């Protein structure tokens, strides 16, 4: 289960640089940053379509590709197709509830821009650990009772599936009344790429921003099955 922690945390906090290109003159770095965030976290593509000169189909494909990339981390975990689809629905729901405010861009001497993004991080595992541990204890107690009554012990695959189902339930319960951490401001750099009039946000800035949006404190404990 600890392997599960490392992989899921990584996939949730990573966004593809391919999403972060746009072309417009004069360039609106504030609007661009807002449009990128709204597409990645909300699936709202209209502003991104306008600022990047993309079609609706292209923008939606990029959003879906981002979700698909997150889901790749589940491939090796042994979940059923049904449970995997449940997690696929959870990811956009989590991102929908992130909180951020894009500030005015500041143009730099080299023509690039710095854009502050005020983030109020959603606490992904807020209230999850205690609920999950109780569910796991109840499940393991039931397994032990079944074994004492001469019933077959569940396979590793069955236990993984059961734990995954319980975690999914707990994460969705937490989303009903999400908890948020203290506000912080992340500075992203919007710069022109080697292709003229095409702008991008460096991957390391994307990682810092996405990490700030979601507080994964408690992940190790929440994913430990003992």
Torsion of CA 162, 168, 170, 175, to 10 degrees: -170
Quote the tokens at residue 1.
């289960």
Q: pLDDT tens-digit profile of 153-166?
A: 898 888 889 988 99
Who has greater pLDDT, 2 or 136?
A: 136
Q: pLDDT tens-digit profile of 78-122?
A: 789 899 889 889 989 998 999 999 999 999 999 899 999 999 999
Name residue 190's beta-bridge partners: 113
pLDDT of amino acid 173 = 93
Sequence-ordered strand ranges (E) for 79-130: 99-102, 106-107, 113-120, 122-123
Torsion of CA 65, 40, 8, 172, to 10 degrees: -110
Confidence class for position 25, pLDDT limits 50, 70, 90 = low
Q: Which of 122, 91, 100 is nearest to 38 (CA)?
A: 100
pLDDT of amino acid 187 = 96
Q: Are 220 and 3 in contact, with CB atoms under 8 Å apart?
A: no
CA distance 40 to 36: 6
């Amino acid at each position: 289960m600890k392997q599960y922690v490392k992989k899921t945390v990584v996939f949730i906090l990573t966004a593809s640089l391919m999403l972060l290109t746009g072309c417009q003159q004069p360039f609106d770095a504030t609007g661009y940053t807002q449009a990128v965030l709204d597409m990645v976290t909300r699936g709202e593509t209209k502003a991104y379509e306008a600022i990047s000169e993309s079609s609706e189909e292209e923008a939606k494909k990029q959003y879906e590709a981002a979700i698909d990339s997150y889901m790749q981390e589940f491939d090796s975990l042994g979940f059923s197709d049904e449970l995997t689809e449940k997690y696929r629905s959870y990811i956009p729901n989590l991102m929908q509830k992130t909180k951020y405010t894009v500030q005015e861009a500041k143009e730099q001497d080299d023509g690039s821009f710095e854009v502050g993004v005020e983030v109020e991080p959603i606490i992904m595992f807020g209230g999850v650990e205690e609920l999950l541990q109780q569910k796991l204890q109840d499940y393991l107690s039931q397994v032990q009772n079944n074994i004492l009554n001469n019933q077959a012990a569940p396979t590793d695959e069955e236990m993984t599936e059961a734990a995954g189902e319980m975690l999914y339930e707990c994460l969705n319960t937490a989303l009903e009344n999400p908890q948020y951490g203290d506000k912080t401001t992340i500075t992203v750099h919007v710069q022109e790429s080697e292709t003229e009039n095409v702008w991008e946000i460096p991957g390391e800035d994307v990682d810092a921003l996405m990490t700030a949006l979601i507080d994964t404190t408690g992940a190790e404990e929440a994913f430990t099955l003992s």
